[in-house]
Amino acid sequence: MNHEPTLDIAIVGAGFAGLYMLHKAREQGLNAKVFERGDGVGGTWYWNRYPGARCDVESFYYSYSFSPELDQEWNWTERYPTQPEILAYLNHVADRFDLRDDICLGSEIVSARYDDNSTSWNLTSARGDEFTSTFFVMASGNLSAAQIPDFPGLTDFTGETYHTGNWPENDVDFRGKSVAIIGTGSSGIQVIPEIARQAEHVTVLQRTPSFSMPARNTPLTDDEISDVKANYASLRVASRNSAAGAPYPPSTDSAFDVSDEERTARYEQYWSMGGARIMNAFGDLMTSPKANDTVAEFVRGKIAESVADKDRAKILTPEGFALGSKRVCVDTDYYATFNRDNVDIIDVSSAPIERITADGIATAGDRIEVDAIVFATGYDAMTGALLAVDIRGQGGTSLRDQWSDGPKTYLGVAVSGFPNMFIITGPQSPSVLGNVVVSIEQHVEFIADHITFMKDKGYRISHPDFDAQEEWVRHVAEVGETTLFSTGSSWYVGANIPGKPRVFMPYIGGVGNFRAMCDEIAAEGYRGFVFS
Ligand code: N01
């Protein structure tokens, strides 16, 4: 058993959140260590190596803002960054800020227990190493607990299986193979066109069609790069104060303030910009079901134009839920892929997958034989990675038990009864509803300032007041109900995991508003926290 010296701060996860937390903690003079289950830094960008993996937030903004020097040094090459480029960026950050010495790779933390007597956290890794720390930070990500549904016969399959969120490091060769791909969310929509270009045959098994927008990815020109670099300071401020973490001007008018022709013209204009920007075309697209219908109908028309076969187009067309209530997807050639001869699609909503067999998949209506199955079946989002660790707070209270009806936090950053524990972009913070890097930086800075405040005041212990937490959870739910985001059967509400409580987990009040609230709370001596 390896007993490390006591730490000031133990951080779980070496993705965007953990790396910045480490850097910030060191700046505050804290003795910090990051524990990372992977064999490299990068978090989600370390694991998601599937062909076509790319972020759908633009490179210029899906990056740290804390270092103006880093902004000037680093050159993004494409409008939307590929997984290898983001991973290279995060490795550069680890080197540039000399972080590696305090990152323990291949170190999966499996339990974290608060000791009421010593008021410190005891962490244990999967291989039995133990660490003690005054503060404990979960930087484990919102979309990092990959999920393969519990299909009967899963282990009978004799071919290759992959999950997009746990892709092997070496290239997978699908040439000459018949491949089934289950899932048509953001990951499926990116991987399907790539595998279809390589494999002999692809069968897509779709339960719910997604609304997907063309990325219109392009290489960045030198002029674009120098223009953004010259204006980075103001673009970063605009992102921090925006609704969704990117410096795009919001529209405030209603979809019904304009004529039908003007509305369609505006949708065309946003469609041609690419990405999920179309959701900014009017201010009421996520609050008015009727306004939402107009944009959904526009996108349905685009799907009909893109897919030649009418039956396939029908299968691929989403109906019955608001556009955006399941996360909007961004693609390159997704719909056109279904015009290829080597691609089939099976609708498994009415005839579900019944079992995996030794040589393929049996649905209620079909039986297919394949060499490989790709699961693009998503994640136990937002709570999965947190609850994968056996976290025990005051009096041995288990976080899993405490959250059995759904997560409860104060500001998504701390939990009553779990002293000196922080979560970066936890449930009930804006997190996944926008550019998560901006929200990560905000939470990291909040935590670092909070610890400095405690030090200055001579406090040893902090956790949220129970009533303040209840009030915040109520506020998050109330605001959530004012929008269409909470109305879909999505991972936002835990609907993709059988048995998971249905709670709308992120805070939809806006990234900028949330920051202002947190700043105010901090200025009032961290209102809602109890110190001793
Ligand atoms: O996961 P998902 P994802 N039988 O949960 C289907 C981010 N991300 O990995 O919708 C059959 O969205 C499921 O069907 P249904 C982004 O935030 C970003 O694709 O539940 N099918 C769905 O089609 C994203 O939202 C980027 O009916 C089953 C799919 O599997 C989030 O990660 C790229 C099934 C899962 O879709 C998650 O995306 C990738 C079953 N039993 C990811 N169970 C970019 O930035 C599940 N499915 C571009």
pLDDT digits (tens, 9 = 90+) for 52-109: 999 999 999 999 999 999 999 999 999 999 999 999 999 999 999 999 999 999 999 9
Does the CB atom of residue 408 touch ligand 1 within 6 A?
no
- Identify the residue whose C-alpha is closest to ligand 1 atom 11: 207
Are 56 and 86 in contact, with CB atoms under 8 Å apart?
Answer: no
- Please check whether residues 89 and 191 belong to one and the same domain: no
DSSP designation for 175:
B
User: Which tokens belong to 164?
Assistant: 């997009």
- Identify the residue whose C-alpha is closest to ligand 1 atom 1: 378
Across all residues in the chain, what is the average pLDDT? 97
- Asked whether residue 452 is assigned to any structural domain, the reply reads yes
- Asked whether residue 510 is assigned to any structural domain, the reply reads yes
Are 72 and 236 in contact, with CB atoms under 8 Å apart?
Answer: no
- Please check whether residues 33 and 82 belong to one and the same domain: yes
- Asked whether residue 2 is assigned to any structural domain, the reply reads no
Domain boundary residue among 375, 408, 430?
A: 375
DSSP designation for 48:
-
Does the CB atom of residue 49 touch ligand 1 within 6 A?
no
- Please check whether residues 388 and 371 belong to one and the same domain: no
How far is it, in rounded angstroms, from Cα 447 to Cα 410? 13
- Asked whether residue 232 is assigned to any structural domain, the reply reads no
pTM: 0.97
Strand partners, 227: none
* Residue 42 neighbours by CB distance under 10 Å: 24
Domain boundary residue among 335, 353, 375?
A: 375
- Identify the residue whose C-alpha is closest to ligand 1 atom 43: 377
Atom of ligand 1 nearest to the CA of 55: 45
State the burial class of residue 1 (Cβ atoms within 10 Å of its Cβ: 0-12, 13-18, 19+): exposed
- Please check whether residues 347 and 480 belong to one and the same domain: no
Does the CB atom of residue 112 touch ligand 1 within 6 A?
no
Q: How many angstroms does the Cα of residue 192 sit away from the middle of ligand 1?
A: 13
- Asked whether residue 426 is assigned to any structural domain, the reply reads yes
Residue corresponding to tokens 């980075």: 232
- Identify the residue whose C-alpha is closest to ligand 1 atom 7: 186
Instruction: Name the residue among 353, 398, 394, 356 with its Cα closest to residue 373.
Output: 356
Question: What is the per-residue pLDDT for 5?
Answer: 43
- Of 82, 315, 377, the residue with max ligand 1 atoms within 8 A of its CB, to mutate for a pocket test, comes to 377
How far is it, in rounded angstroms, from Cα 89 to Cα 20? 13
Does the CB atom of residue 217 touch ligand 1 within 6 A?
no
Domain boundary residue among 345, 375, 405?
A: 375
- Please check whether residues 58 and 168 belong to one and the same domain: no
Does the CB atom of residue 186 touch ligand 1 within 6 A?
yes
Does the CB atom of residue 515 touch ligand 1 within 6 A?
no
- Asked whether residue 120 is assigned to any structural domain, the reply reads yes
- Asked whether residue 439 is assigned to any structural domain, the reply reads yes
Question: What is the per-residue pLDDT for 250?
Answer: 86
Spans of the chain below 70 pLDDT: 1-5
- Please check whether residues 388 and 356 belong to one and the same domain: no
- Please check whether residues 427 and 491 belong to one and the same domain: yes
- Of 187, 191, 316, the residue with max ligand 1 atoms within 8 A of its CB, to mutate for a pocket test, comes to 187
State the total domains in the chain: 2
- Identify the residue whose C-alpha is closest to ligand 1 atom 37: 378
Q: What is the domain extent for residue 254?
A: 160-221+246-375
How far is it, in rounded angstroms, from Cα 139 to Cα 426? 9
- Identify the residue whose C-alpha is closest to ligand 1 atom 12: 185
